[in-house]
Amino acid sequence: MGKDTERISIRLVVGLTAVFLLCLWAFVAYWSLRSRDLEIDSTRVTLVRLSTAAEEQVRRMFKLVEVFLDTSDLWLANHPQADPLTDPQFSALVQGFYRASGNAIQLRLVKRDGALYRIPAEGPKPNARVGDRDYFLAQGDAGRRGFYIGTPVQSRENGHWLIPISVPLQRSSHDVTVLLASIRVDYFAGVFEQERIRPNGAITLLRRDGTLLARAPHLPQLLGKSAAQTDVFADFLPRAPRGVEFSSSSATDGVSKLTSYAAMDDFPLVVVVAAATDDILARWELDATVITLVGLILTVFALAASGRLIWLLRDQERARCELFRMASTDDLTGCLNRRHFMASLTREFSRSQRHGDDLSLMVLDLDFFKRINDGYGHAVGDKALGAFVAAAQSCLRQSDQFARLGGEEFGILLPVTTVEQAQPVAERLRQKVAEIRIPTPQGVVQFTVSIGIAAYSSDLASAEELLLQADRALYAAKGAGRNRVVAAPPAGLPADTVVTPG
């Protein structure tokens, strides 16, 4: 009963610990996933805001370029006799544009042969030859002619990186055929640098065909490179003109990023604002690490507490078993004591009354045991008791109960056993005892046992009556000469005995 209670208690402790740990780690997992999603959602909102702001800054600058070019073209169309390279009014107009843009937009004139001139021209010789530039060649191509955004170039005048925008003149003026406006790349790089998400975020301006025009952080070696094979151009833009998506890699640095992209409606431009995945999740990873460590600490604590509690339960059960053993066993022989044996006898007797099960009882007495104690000493007597107990236990089943009733008197309870089945057991036991030899300085000690057997009968009113019958059978065995087995007759029959002589 105690072992069952112990097992139930241990299972309860293990079950509660498992439920606690399951709930703990379910919470850790839920919190981790939820907080990660919230961090990403928050970054999405930020990227969309930055993308919108960058798009407006780009639009404002290109609208300004458009206005400058249209105004210049209109002025030249209205002043056909004026030489745009030297006319002071046109020069003043251009200088006004330059100042209005914060010195970010420069206007140049390109002649039919590709000669590039500042305004006003510094002499008869051109400042550079740009006949090989795409923005100049585009104006001679009917398919590309018009407002054309060229590939970033490094100025042959001052080394600055520029985004060239060219338009053809409505009417050629003094062999000038193309108006060129150039936006300094470092203007966009500076504006973008203030807004990008650090440390690894980026804001990039690209032409619709994927050509990189400007970027923050500024990397001159990337200007003019194609990003047509990246996720933004190969996958995202064909599905939607704007959105926020995870990109597995970047054409510029190979870093996985969350990217907000927007294809502008009024210019062939794409603005891309990206935040590195590692940067987005850096704070989340730190928080997740902390909560995971807390979870591990709580797990270790729970397991330690559970282990300690299980140990205490087992120790309590061991202590209970030891107390039970001490209360139910005989200190000298290790077999059951009289009190426990009588409780078992009463319980088995009641079961037989309820179910009609067979039950046999043996009462045993060592013959002339007092002579051993008096002649050889109590130590030898104790050895004789131990040898007797070992011999008796070797003849019994696990379900049988063997007890010391007092002194040299013992009892054996045999559940579900008839008197006919008990007699051979008693006889084997008697023979084994007769074979015991205990060497001593005074000689070899031998002894015998007398056994009385009684069986349950419905005529018996109590366990005490069954024990009384077994005692009477034992007395009969002793009266018949000892070293023998006597079975009491069934209750209500004449008091004849069945004697097995020794």
* Final residue before a domain boundary, out of 328, 351, 380: 328
CB 397 within 8 A of CB 339: no
Evaluate whether residue 459 is within a structural domain.
Answer: yes
CATH number at residue 487: 3.30.70.270
Question: What b/e sequence results for 219-236 when a residue is b if at least 16 CB atoms lie within 10 Å of its CB, and e otherwise?
Answer: eeebbbbebeebbbbeeb
User: Considering its fold, how many domains does the chain have in total?
Assistant: 2
- Give the separation between CA 468 and CA 129, rounded to whole angstroms: 135
φ, ψ of residue 418 to 5 degrees: the values are: -85, 165
Evaluate whether residue 14 is within a structural domain.
Answer: yes
Pair 231, 350 in one domain: no
Digitized pLDDT (tens) for each residue of the chain, 502 residues in all: 456 777 888 889 899 999 999 999 999 999 999 999 999 999 999 999 999 999 999 999 999 999 999 999 999 999 989 999 999 999 999 999 989 888 899 999 999 999 999 888 877 888 888 999 999 999 998 888 999 999 999 887 778 899 999 999 988 888 999 999 999 999 999 999 999 988 888 999 999 999 999 999 999 999 999 999 888 999 999 999 999 998 875 555 667 889 999 999 999 999 999 998 888 888 899 999 999 999 999 999 999 999 998 898 888 878 777 676 666 688 888 889 999 999 999 999 999 999 989 999 999 999 999 999 988 999 999 999 999 999 999 999 999 999 999 889 999 999 999 999 999 999 999 999 999 999 999 999 999 999 999 999 988 999 999 999 999 999 999 999 999 999 998 644 444 444 444 4
Pair 304, 450 in one domain: no
Evaluate whether residue 151 is within a structural domain.
Answer: yes
Q: Quote the domain boundaries for residue 168.
A: 1-328
**Within 10 Å of residue 76's Cβ, how many Cβ atoms?**
23
Q: 410 by DSSP, 3-state: which?
A: strand
Pair 153, 7 in one domain: yes
CB 499 within 8 A of CB 477: yes
CATH number at residue 116: 3.30.450.20
Pair 303, 378 in one domain: no
Pair 89, 160 in one domain: yes
Question: What b/e sequence results for 3-21 when a residue is b if at least 16 CB atoms lie within 10 Å of its CB, and e otherwise?
Answer: eeebeebbeebeeebeeeb
* Final residue before a domain boundary, out of 328, 359, 387: 328
Pair 87, 236 in one domain: yes
Pair 75, 197 in one domain: yes
Listed residue (66, 70, 75) closest to 173, CA to CA: 75
Evaluate whether residue 81 is within a structural domain.
Answer: yes
Pair 239, 166 in one domain: yes
Q: Which amino acid, 58?
A: V
Pair 409, 304 in one domain: no
Pair 315, 352 in one domain: no
Listed residue (25, 1, 322) closest to 9, CA to CA: 1
Which residues have C-beta within 8 Å of that of residue 158, sequence separation ≥ 6?
Answer: none
* Final residue before a domain boundary, out of 307, 328, 349: 328
Neighbouring-strand partners of residue 179: 109, 167
Pair 308, 358 in one domain: no
pTM: 0.64
- Give the separation between CA 221 and CA 474, rounded to whole angstroms: 114
Evaluate whether residue 333 is within a structural domain.
Answer: no
Evaluate whether residue 428 is within a structural domain.
Answer: yes
Pair 23, 99 in one domain: yes
